[in-house]
Structures are given as C-alpha cells and as structure tokens.
Amino acid sequence: MSALTRVLHHDEPSPPARAVPPEPAAELPDAPEAEALDAFHADVAARPASTFAMLTVGRSGPDQITITGKHGDDALGMPTRTVGRPRLALGDLVGGNDSKPPDVVRLYLSEWSRTASEIREWVEQLRTAVGDAELRLVVWDDSGYEVPWEVLYLWGDRAANRRPGWLGELVTVTRMLTTHPGDPSEQWSPLDLGEHRCQGDALAYVHRDMTDDLVSLRPFEPDEVTAEGLLDRLADADQPVAMVYLAQHGEFAEHLTGLSLGELRWSHFAYTGLPALMRSHGLVFLNACHSGRMTNDPQINTALFGFAEMFLRKGAASVVGTLGKVETTLARRVAAELLAEISGESTIPLAEALRRVRAAAAAGVAGFTPTEADVKRFVYTFMYVCYGNPYTTLRLPGGGHG
C-alpha cells in the first residue's frame, strides 16, 4: 500500500464514508447520514503527508450532503458537516432538458461558491499551509449529486499571495468514488500506486467525425482500432496498454443499458477483466459526451455506476471524462491542449496537465465583460474531470518529448 493511500485512509482498504446512491426519479426514504472519517496518521515514505488532502462527500438526504475534510495528520482537518445540496450538475445545465446559456451557468456557479463557505475556508487553509503547486486534493464523492467541485470559486488573499480563481484551475484535483469489484482481481485502488508511470501501447478508438483528434495523438504513436479491436487488445494480457483514447459520441441514461460510447455499451466491458489495462494501470481518456458521469439505475439502487467507475475497477490508474454534452470543436480543442501538455513535458502528471488547461480557459473569463466564446470555452473545459491517481504520468514512445 502506498504512502498516499495510508495517509488518506488510515490503512483501511476503502474510505469509511458510506457509499450512498444518488436520488432516483421515484421518491425513496432518505439515506442514512454518512459517517465521519476517523482521524488518521501520516506515513511519509514517498512524499510529505502535508501535500495530500481529501474531501469526502456523502448523502444525508434528498437536499443535503455530508462533507468531511482530511489532511496529513489532520492538523488542518474539517469536521464533518451537513450542508445544502447544490443542484448544479453541469450535464443538466448545459445540453440537458433544463439547458442554460454558458453565462447563466457561470452566474450560478459563482453564487453557489459564495454559500459554500465551509469548503472554501478549508481549502484556503490548505493553500496557505501547502501551496497551490504542491497541494493534491482528492474529492471522494459518493453522493451521486454531480456537484461541480472543480468550479468552486475561491476568493484567495492577495496579501498572503493566494490569488483568486476556480478550484480546478488553482489546485490539482482528482475525483474518486467507491468501486464495486466483481471478482478478487478488481479489489485494488489507483491510490495505492503513488507516483505511477503508464507504459505500453497507445490505442485510439476514434469516430469518423473526430479523426482530427489523431493529429494530437501523433506523439503517442497510437494503434487505431475498431470497437471489436479495442476489446480484443484490452483482453490480451501480453500487451500492456499505457493509454486508451476514445473520441466517440457518448450517451447517458438513467439505466445502465443506455450508457454507450460509440458502438460500445457499458455492458461490453462490465462482465470480463481487462488484463492489458490491469497489467499496466494505464490512462483512459474518454473524449465523449457524458463519459465522466455516474448513474444509479433504480432497478439496482445500491451504487453509482458509469464508465469512469468501470475503468477504474478494471485497472486504470486515471480516467478523464466529461460531465455533460460537449461540442465537437471544443472537445477537440481541450483534448489537443491536454495532450500537448503531456507530450511537451513527459513527467507532468495527467491531473496537473488538466489543471493547466482549465487555467488557460479560466483566464478568458477573468475580466468584467468576457466574450460569449470565452465563457463557452470556460464552461465546457471545466466539464472535463480526472478520476483516480493524482500522480499518473505517461511514458512517450522512445521516452522522448513531442
């Protein structure tokens, strides 16, 4: 077990915060209140424990969440608190049935940030003690409420050299959730990996409408595969996979049978191991609409499911996905910028590369009158989130840079 896992979990295999399903369409009894994490102790064999922090999020009712903040030896911990649930799922606000213009979405996010004082104050303490460059925040969210944590606005303190901005542009943030192993081979956690480097082949499953994405993938020398070819490669234990890149049209639904990425449904991956991915603990980049969202099928009603949870369980160290519907041109731009960061600096963690891409998009809305295009880019870029290990890096073919 890595130092990161021991620091964040106090030597427990999974976080004590209770996994609670998201609220289904039909009214159900309130879920029991999530339990607070016990205090934990730091094991600093790999890195200083002070660089790690975890925000655990559970569900305590149809309109409330329970949050707990942990950090190192808990000197800067945040006691368990119950706060109101924001109804700000980006997948619903943009491209959903209740779709709103990007400038209205930005307004809602800004005003919600004003009310989330407990979390803001805790993160500001962490920023002061650790520094933005070193801080790694893991948000373990089992609430199912799709809270857009990366778009929490922080006021900062210029006197203390903490600039204002959105959490996902200032701090390296990764997400986690409770996974549900189907057999012993899936009983692992990407947080156990610590500083991990993905090595192996790169696979690209790209829709005919998105072949321009292949230009950004050139430094990784990917093998272009069909849906069937992708499944065959992932089943081959003798060929480790460093990166799986999917650029497809994604579909999201309440029921698991409706989750799809191009020709591939969730069920194509769910019932078998993916030994090539588990062997290398590679990166999975899902450049598709809704690919990072979780659902709670009311016919199961016990846990959160989605492509990100599935790939983490099947061996991925990190998964990048989207929280809603993203236009093809903007999806291509975000992917190109993220891949350029990785290929230009091969030692940069994926989560940090995504933070830089968000920061560039956020710079466009820093003034009083940003353009409509800048606001749109900002909203859609922050739809991209990273699950899993905050220290995942990717080895380029030949070990060189792009």
Q: Are residues 125 and 232 in the same domain?
A: no
Which segment of 5-9, 88-92, 168-172 scores lowest on mean pLDDT?
Answer: 5-9
pLDDT digits 0-9 by tens, 215-273: 999 999 999 999 999 999 999 999 999 999 999 999 998 888 889 999 999 889 888 88
112 and 212, same domain (yes or no)? no
The whole-number average pLDDT for the span 158-164 is 88
Q: Which domain holds residue 60?
A: 3-176
**Angle in degrees, CA 164, 167, 170, rounded to 5:** 65
pTM exceeds 0.85 = yes
Domain-terminating residue out of 176, 207, 242: 176
Residue-wise pLDDT for 372-399, tens only, equals 999 999 999 999 999 999 999 999 886 5
175-187, pLDDT tens digit by residue?
Answer: 999 998 888 889 9
Residues 168 and 294 in one domain: no
Q: At residue 7, does pLDDT exceed 50?
A: no
Tokens for 25? 């369409």
What does the pLDDT look like over 290-305, one tens digit per residue? 999 998 888 887 789 9
Cβ neighbours of residue 290 closer than 8 Å, sequence gap 6 or more: 91, 250, 251, 252, 322, 323, 324, 325
Quick one: pLDDT at residue 32? 36
Whether residue 115 is found in the same domain as residue 223? no
Distance CA 244, CA 308 (A): 13
Sort 25 into a burial class: Cβ within 10 Å, 0-12 / 13-18 / 19+.
exposed
In this structure, are 66 and 141 located in the same domain? yes
Mean pLDDT of the chain: 85
Q: Are residues 153 and 215 in the same domain?
A: no
The whole-number pLDDT of residue 255 equals 85
Give the pairing of strands 260-261 and 250-251.
Answer: antiparallel
User: Which of 176, 208, 238 is the C-terminal boundary of a domain?
Assistant: 176
- CATH number of the domain bearing residue 381: 3.40.50.1460
Residues 276, 195 within the same domain:
yes
In this predicted structure, the answer to whether residue 89 has a pLDDT above a threshold of 80 is yes
Residue 224 domain-assigned (yes or no): yes
Domain presence at residue 181: no
CA-to-CA dists, residue 84 to 14, 59, 115, angstroms: 26, 10, 9
| 29 contact partners, CB below 8 Å, separation of at least 6 | none
Among 155, 176, 197, residue at a domain's last position: 176
pLDDT at 169 over 90: yes
User: Which of the listed ranges 32-36, 92-96, 370-374 does the model predict with the highest average pLDDT?
Assistant: 370-374
Q: 42 and 132, same structural domain? A: yes
Domain assignment present for residue 277? The answer is yes
Instruction: Please give the Cα distance from 337 to 29 (Å, whole number).
Output: 45
pLDDT at position 151 over 80: yes
CA distances from 46 to 6, 57, 281, 318, 377 (A): 11, 26, 19, 19, 37
**Least confident interval from 17-26, 231-240, 310-319:** 17-26
**Domain co-membership, 207 together with 302:** yes
Phi and psi at residue 11, to the nearest 5°: 65, 20
Position 277, amino acid? L
**Sole residue written with tokens 């929490």:** 152
Q: How much is the pLDDT for 50? A: 78
Higher pLDDT, 57 or 22: 57
pLDDT in tens, 51-86: 889 999 999 888 899 999 999 767 788 999 999 999
**Number of compact structural domains in the chain:** 2
Does residue 310 sit in the same domain as residue 364? Answer: yes
How many Cα atoms occupy the beta-carbon half-sphere of 254 within 13 Å?
Answer: 9
Element (H, E) at 287: strand 283-287
